Amino acid sequence: MRFRDRNEAGERLARALDRYRGQPGVVYALPRGGVPLGAVVARHLGMPLDLLIPRKIAHPFHPEYAICAVPEHGERVCNPREAERVDPDWLEQAEARERSEARRRRELYCTAPVPEVTGKLAIIVDDGIATGLTMRAAIRDARQRRPRHLVVAIPVAPAETAAMLETEADELVTLDIPEYFRGSVGAYYEDFEQTSDDEVIALLASVHQSQRPDVSR
C-alpha cells in the first residue's frame, strides 16, 4: 500500500477509526510527521488534538539508528542490547538533551489548555513506525494519564513491530502490515516532505479553533 501524502493517510486512518466517532477522548499526535494525520483524525472523530513528544536517542556513531527513546514523562525505552554497548554517562547526557528538546517543543507548539483524558479514550497517531521505540515511549507517557482505553493508530508498520505494539497498547489500528518492510516509513508515501514547526503550530490551532463553541449564537 502507498499513500499520496500524510493527509490522504490521515483520511484513510480516520475512516478506519470511525466507530469511535463522537466518543469522549483525545487524539495524540507524535510531532512532527504525525500531526497532519492527527489533525484529520481529530476533526473526523470530533476529539481534541494534543501531542505526545517522545524523543529518539540515536546511536553515537550512527545518527539514523535509534537505540532508545525518551517520553516527556517517565523512564526511557531502550533496545537493551544496543544500550548496553554505549557509555552510560553519554546515554544519561543524551537523555537530558532530548528531554530538554521535548520541553522546548511543547512550549513552542502547544498554547491551548491540555485536554483531560483520564477515564476516556486515547488514540495515538503517527505517520508510520519502523522500530517502534518512540511509539513505545509515547504509550508509556499516555498510560500515566490513565485513559480507559488506549489505541495506537498508524498507516504502516513492520510485522514484528506491530506484534510488539499489540502487547503494549489496548488496540492497534494499522492500514498495512507488509510482509516485507521496505526499510523506512517514507518508502510508503509518494510525498513524504518533512513537516515544519509552523505547520505543526497551524494544524494544532486550526483543530482547536474548529472545536470551540460558537458563542455568537
Does this model's pTM top 0.85? My answer is: yes
Which pLDDT does position 214 carry in this prediction? 54
Q: CATH topology for 6-53+110-210?
A: Rossmann fold (3.40.50)
Strand-pairing partners, residue 156, are 176
pLDDT < 50 stretches in the chain: 215-217
Strand-pairing partners, residue 204, are none
* Backbone phi, psi, residue 185, to 5°: -65, -40
All three cell numbers of 138: 509515547
Q: Which residues contact 142 (CB under 8 A, 6 or more apart)?
A: 28, 52, 117, 122, 124, 150
Contact 106, 114 (CB under 8 A): no
Cβ-based burial of 180 (10 A; exposed 0-12, middle 13-18, buried ≥19)? exposed
Gap between the Cα atoms of 152 and 165, Å rounded: 8
Gap between the Cα atoms of 62 and 45, Å rounded: 39
Cβ-based burial of 68 (10 A; exposed 0-12, middle 13-18, buried ≥19)? buried
Which pLDDT does position 215 carry in this prediction? 44
Which pLDDT does position 183 carry in this prediction? 87
DSSP string, 5-70: SHHHHHHHHHHHTGGGTTSSEEEEE-TTTHHHHHHHHHHHHT--EEE---EEEEETTEEEEEEEEE
Which pLDDT does position 109 carry in this prediction? 96
**Per-residue model confidence as pLDDT tens digits over 81-102:** 999 999 999 999 999 999 999 9
Instruction: Say how many residues make up the chain.
Output: 217
